[in-house]
Copies of this chain bind each other. A is one copy, B any other.
């Protein structure tokens, strides 16, 4: 095709924009955002190289360190949570490095896929969906698989509603392989359930803004231990956008970023962190414990089956429920959406249509959860479900 033949693109005809609906949004991210945080985004733009932006970073960085429980700098990137997975891998490993990937669901699988895409030698320890990583099995397998440079662990598996005992798993890795890096995907856990990066001796921890942080998606936060920073110095995987060295340098010299940060989302983060500190870290954890207990209790009272096989590992940020026999998740979710403006999440991967998930993290009240569960109960009956 010659240049002359190439067609100009006409103005497209599109459907008219409608107001964004107000819903009871109960997916495990994006989570509802408090009105004062939503409003904060509407402030005018400022220069990301100026003192006003640096002032924001001076406030949010130590507060993020407090929620991470780390003395290491918490670095922030314009990215989705998957960006955190890639950022973790490319900064500490080299091509061919042997890493062990502990997989209990879809996001653990994704972290392993990223490590493989970058040419790492990945050994997988997989558990069926609904189970947590069993420390006894992990210990046996890690002994067989040694030596390895790192172990990749999902803290809270969003696809299955299971929370791994990261503290125990990290202690196990440390005992067996003192120099191995413990990389923790804390996207849907951090700030909602306990995670103590330095006390638990975790090496890389990352999370995403759209989960427990009560702000919209678009900021990824990541921190590294001294051990991980040492590994970073010799890590040979190619990187530029995700490179920790330049991000840390800009943070430490000017409270800024090497690239243009998502300014309006930082306005939101600034306000959300204030609200979270006003509520208190332990109070937030307690609220999530209560939410998890409440949702699981209601689900079991309905005679429904949790995906979690062992309640000790059932997540306090997202509950996964098996679809009753003969009922399609899709029909239930559609009724909830269309009739009640309640939005739940379908299963992922091979469990799509076979389960549904209720998010209970970040900004919510028990009344939100009650409304959602009342509606689930009503619609399941309409669909022919009998407990």
List residues of A whose CB falls within 8 A of some B CB.
3, 6-12, 14-15, 17-23, 25, 27, 29-33, 38-39, 41-50, 52, 55, 58-59, 62-63, 65-66, 68-71, 78-83, 85-86, 113-114, 117-119, 171, 196, 198-201, 208, 210, 216-218, 237-241, 257-265, 267-268, 270-271, 274, 277, 337, 343, 345-346
Contact = CB atoms under 8 A, between A and B. Distances in A.
Given A38-B42, A83-B78, A217 B260 contact: yes
Contacts of A17: 59, 270-271, 274
A157 to B, nearest CB: 16
Given A66-B11, A117-B239, A259-B80, A6 B199 contact: yes
Could you tell me the dominant secondary structure of chain A's interface residues?
A: loop
A49 B63 CA distance: 31
B18 A62 contact: no
A6 B198 contact: yes
B59 A46 contact: no
A171 B3 contact: yes
Contacts of A218: 78, 218, 262, 264-265
Contact of A217 (B32, B117, B261): B261
A62 B32 contact: no
B7 A30 contact: no
A23 B47 CA distance: 10
A22 B44 CA distance: 6
B66 A46 contact: no
Given A117-B238, A264-B268, 8 more contacts: A3-B171, A3-B200, A9-B65, A9-B69, A30-B45, A80-B259, A208-B260, A218-B262
A261 B78 CA distance: 11
A80 B45 contact: no
B49 A345 contact: yes
Nearest to A239: B117
A132 to B, nearest CB: 21
Given A30-B260, A59-B15, A198 B117 contact: no
